[in-house]
Amino acid sequence: MIETAVTIILLLLLGAVTIGIVRVRGLFAAVVLLGIYSLLMATLFIVLDAVDVAMTEAAVGAGVSTVFFLGALSLTDTVEASAKRPQIMPVVVALVTAGALLWGLSDLPEFGSPNQPIHSQGADYLARSIPETGIANVVSAVLASYRSFDTLGETTVVFTAGIGILALLRRRRGEGKS
């Protein structure tokens, strides 16, 4: 009962912060709200017993991303260009995306149901991981063997983002010398 109440409160706070992000006009305020959103998501992941995802969200989402956004703000102009006319296309894309996500949610099993695929197939990893992979740590076996392409993709995304940030910082540093 308490867990459900905490989850509902966190979801309401996430909704309020999301509305704040969309409505706020200052870039600094938007960056701060994005950091708060990531921190609330990390808290929600803890409530949902996904502590590993919560740690990643707190470190990358609330920590590193906020620092990068603040760094990018310090390297850009402080005056935002005014909109020439209202943009309808982003609203249409957002509504279509929201519709697709809601349609996808309609096929999911009930939350907390013991009939979910993870409960019937996930426990199988404990028995199979050592004989199939030779890795004693089950989490490492899943990440390095069963989900290796997914892990490689995530690593590639983080590496590419880091290289992009270094390239932007190098370019900015080079502009000051001329």
Total of domains in the chain: 1
The answer to the question of residue 142 being in a domain is no
164-64-174 Cα angle (round to 5): 40
* pLDDT greater than 60 at residue 176: no
pLDDT at residue number 169: 77
pLDDT at residue number 9: 94
The answer to the question of residue 22 being in a domain is yes
Q: How confident is the model at residue 145 (pLDDT cuts 50, 70, 90)?
A: confident
pLDDT at residue number 83: 67
The answer to the question of residue 67 being in a domain is yes
pLDDT at residue number 35: 92
Q: How confident is the model at residue 167 (pLDDT cuts 50, 70, 90)?
A: confident
User: Which residues span the domain enclosing 56?
Assistant: 1-78
Mean pLDDT of 73-92: 76
Closest C-alpha to 20, from 40, 6, 3, 4: 40
C-beta separation of 17 from 33 below 8 A: yes
pTM value > 0.85 = no
Phi, psi of 106 (to 5 degrees): -65, -20
In whole numbers, what is the pLDDT of the chain averaged over residues?
A: 83
Instruction: Pick 41 or 25 by higher pLDDT.
Output: 41
Q: Percentage of the chain with pLDDT > 70?
A: 89
Mean pLDDT of 52-58: 84
